[in-house]
């Protein structure tokens, strides 16, 4: 305390007023009163000029401390008020997601569920994880090199016609595109394993793919695949065939089997298409399987040495197999969905069945 001015009392008075303020409006008003130009503190500061130097020094310091304290009190009350007002506003505009409106599709307790394609991807992952695979992912936007070049599909190769591509950028230094299959993830995995020295690889890679297809009963322009890759020492075609058969019975059940038929893919040699017993007629022959009793699910083969060369893996030391098939196609077969377009129409009556 200095002279007639009780600085502590001024601070206490300000504290009382600040604590009593209850809204943004009130705190603004209080701030003007306790620290504005016309406040007692401001007036006391102005009066310093006419004081003798000793007293001025002492009172100046006290006033400075007092102002700092008052500013701090104001700021902390302001943020309390802001928080309280925001909470009140949020509580007032809160959506009650559990509210049941009679006559709507969602009944009491219904919070929706995973889409059939997501459920299928999860189930496929579970089967492969149970067989000792790990799960990896890669980007949906790829360069020409990852989607084609590194997979032994050079620019002029006729096999590029197999993948009608959505290009994002054409040309120099390299085209970018929406991946047309999950096979480029193989390249990313092998490159990483070479860099980190973590070969062998036993991975599956699920993900979304894009092709310029006109959607029909068995094709979508945006669809999903799951890729598999094993790179290890001494891997043979028998390992591939055994893996496909184990997967088929684990996923579709004990009466569904697999078979491999010679085929061509640039990134595998030899290559095969794999087919599974038609789940609709159980192999007896029906319209869905064109009376053959088999349905084609995907492609597979032994990793081509040219692919190993593009990622720097020594094909004399390592061998491997790869496979890839449609997740949407699996869902279609397992649930006997006549038209795949039902998966993307978002008709809740359809989706609720799964
Ligand atoms: N990427 C191929 C496609 O989309 C499918 C495929 C075939 C994947 C053979 C493979 C494979 O890994 O070995 O048509």
CATH number (domain holding residue 255): 3.30.930.10
Cα 212 to Cα 179, 207, 226: the distances in Å are 11, 17, 19
d(CA 315, CA 297): 28
Ligand 1 centroid – CA 158 distance (Å): 16
d(CA 354, CA 122): 14
Answer whether 301 contacts ligand 1 (Cβ < 6 A). yes
Tell me the best of 267, 303, 326 to mutate to test the pocket of ligand 1, counting ligand atoms within 8 Å of each CB and taking the most. 267
Q: Which of 168, 121, 126 is nearest to 143 (CA)?
A: 168
Q: Give residue 346's region: left, alpha or beta (phi > 0; psi -120 to 50).
A: left
Ligand 1 centroid – CA 255 distance (Å): 25
Query: What tens-digit pLDDT sequence spans the chain (354 residues)?
Result: 445 688 999 999 999 999 999 999 999 999 999 999 999 999 988 888 888 888 889 999 999 999 999 999 999 999 999 999 999 999 888 887 777 666 555 555 566 789 999 999 999 999 999 999 999 999 999 999 999 999 999 888 887 777 789 999 988 788 999 999 999 999 999 999 999 999 999 999 999 999 998 898 888 999 999 999 999 999 999 999 999 999 999 999 999 999 999 999 999 999 999 999 988 888 999 887 889 999 899 999 999 999 999 999 999 999 999 999 999 999 988 898 888 999 999 998 999 899
Task: Write b or e for each residue in 195-207: b if 16 or more Cβ atoms lie within 10 A of its Cβ, otherwise e.
Answer: eeeebebbbbbbb
Asked which of 49, 78, 93 is the last residue of a domain, the reply is 93
Question: Which position has the token pair 């593009």?
Answer: 310
d(CA 167, CA 177): 4
Residues 215 and 251 placed together within one structural domain of the fold: yes
Ligand 1 centroid – CA 338 distance (Å): 24
- Residue 104 inside a domain? The answer is no
Atom 8 of ligand 1, residue of closest alpha carbon: 324
The pLDDT assigned to 163 comes to 73
Residues 281 and 322 placed together within one structural domain of the fold: yes
Residues 71 and 181 placed together within one structural domain of the fold: no
292: which residues sit within 8 A by CB, 6+ positions away?
Answer: 278, 285
328 and 85 Cβ atoms separated by less than 8 Å: no
Answer whether 152 contacts ligand 1 (Cβ < 6 A). no
Domain count along the chain: 2
Query: Judging by beta carbons within 10 Å of its beta carbon (0-12, 13-18, 19+), is residue 56 exposed, middle or buried?
Result: middle
Asked which of 93, 124, 154 is the last residue of a domain, the reply is 93
- Residue 101 inside a domain? The answer is no
Angle between helices 53-92 and 24-35 (to 10 degrees): 180
The pLDDT assigned to 213 comes to 85
Atom 12 of ligand 1, residue of closest alpha carbon: 323
- Residue 2 inside a domain? The answer is no
Chain-centroid distance of CA 201 in Å reads 23
Residues 12 and 125 placed together within one structural domain of the fold: no
Residues 199 and 242 placed together within one structural domain of the fold: yes
Ligand 1 centroid – CA 203 distance (Å): 15
d(CA 238, CA 236): 5
Residues 224 and 314 placed together within one structural domain of the fold: yes
Range of the domain at 82: 7-93
Ligand 1 centroid – CA 266 distance (Å): 9
Residues 83 and 143 placed together within one structural domain of the fold: no
Q: Which numbered atom of ligand 1 lies nearest the CA of 227?
A: 12
Q: Which of 322, 154, 176 is nearest to 240 (CA)?
A: 322
Ligand 1 centroid – CA 228 distance (Å): 9
């Amino acid at each position: 305390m200095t002279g007639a001015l009780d600085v502590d009392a001024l601070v206490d008075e300000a504290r009382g007023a600040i604590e009593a303020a209850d809204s943004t409006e009130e705190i603004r008003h209080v701030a003007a009163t306790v620290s504005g130009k016309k406040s007692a503190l401001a007036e006391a500061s102005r009066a310093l000029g006419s004081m003798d130097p000793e007293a001025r020094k002492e009172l100046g310091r006290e006033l400075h401390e007092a102002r700092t304290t008052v500013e701090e009190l104001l700021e902390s009350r302001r943020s309390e008020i802001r928080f309280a007002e925001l909470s009140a506003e949020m509580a007032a505009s809160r959506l009650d997601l559990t509210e049941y409106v009679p006559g709507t599709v969602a009944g009491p307790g219904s919070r929706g569920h995973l889409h059939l394609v997501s459920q299928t991807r999860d189930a496929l992952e579970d089967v492969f994880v149970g067989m000792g695979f790990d799960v990896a992912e890669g980007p949906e936007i790829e360069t020409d090199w990852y989607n084609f070049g590194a997979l032994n599909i050079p620019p002029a190769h006729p096999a590029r016609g197999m993948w009608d591509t959505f290009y994002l950028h054409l040309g120099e230094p390299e085209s970018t595109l929406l991946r047309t299959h999950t096979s480029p993830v193989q390249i990313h995995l092998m490159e990483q394993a070479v860099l980190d020295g973590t070969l062998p690889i036993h991975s599956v890679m699920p993900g979304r793919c894009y092709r310029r297809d006109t959607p029909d009963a068995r094709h979508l322009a945006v669809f999903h695949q799951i890729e598999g890759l094993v790179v290890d020492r001494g891997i043979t075609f028998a390992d591939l065939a055994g893996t496909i058969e184990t997967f088929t019975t684990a996923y579709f059940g004990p009466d569904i089997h697999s078979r491999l038929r010679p085929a061509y893919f640039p990134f595998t040699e030899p290559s095969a298409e794999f087919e599974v017993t038609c789940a609709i007629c159980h192999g007896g022959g029906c319209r869905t399987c064109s009376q053959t009793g088999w349905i084609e699910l995907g492609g597979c083969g032994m990793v081509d040495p040219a692919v190993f060369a593009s990622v720097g893996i020594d094909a004399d030391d390592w061998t491997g197999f790869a496979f890839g098939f449609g997740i949407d196609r699996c869902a279609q077969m397992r649930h006997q969905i006549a038209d795949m377009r039902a998966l993307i129409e978002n008709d809740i009556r359809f989706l609720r069945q799964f």
